[in-house]
Amino acid sequence: MENDTVSILQANLQKSKVSTSELNHWSYDIALVQEPNVGAPGRVGLVEAPKKVYCKGQARAAIIIKENIDFWPVESLTNRDLAAVVVRIRNNELMLLHTYTESPEKPMLC
């Protein structure tokens, strides 16, 4: 990674093909995505980034990483509702976990 800045995008794409394809035009290094459009055969459809971590075929959580970031998927933690990776940024390793959770019917107060 050449500079000190990493941009992280978080978005719920609501299974939309249009929203999922729009990721190709947004500026980010890492995208934490909920409800991507999953095309056949079980891949996050229409996203041109070569690095994607998600559960094939039924993903509700995904992490999409641009080419300039080194990463390793954590397959033992990745499932339909959780995507996990380790990324290297400026010689430091950082684990990113992204999860899908359904909205409760009533808002939860802390």
In a domain, 54, yes or no: yes
Among candidate residues 50, 97, 107, the one with its CA nearest the CA of residue 77: 97
The model's pLDDT over 49-108, given as tens digits with 9 standing for 90+, comes to: 668 787 877 789 999 888 888 999 999 999 999 999 999 988 899 999 999 988 766 665
In a domain, 1, yes or no: no
Main-chain phi, psi angles of 22, to 5 degrees: -65, -20
In a domain, 105, yes or no: no
Query: Which residues constitute the domain of residue 85?
Result: 8-99
Q: How many domains does the chain have?
A: 1
In a domain, 109, yes or no: no
Between CA 53 and CA 71 the distance in angstroms is 10
The model's pLDDT over 12-34, given as tens digits with 9 standing for 90+, comes to: 988 888 888 888 888 899 999 99
**Residue 65 in contact with residue 30, Cβ under 8 Å?**
yes
In a domain, 107, yes or no: no
Is the pTM value of this prediction over 0.85? no
Output the CA–CA distances (angstroms, integers) from residue 54 to 22, 29, 95, 106, in the order listed.
18, 17, 15, 29
Q: What is the CATH number of the domain that holds 63?
A: 3.60.10.10
The whole-number pLDDT of residue 11 equals: 92
In a domain, 2, yes or no: no
In a domain, 108, yes or no: no
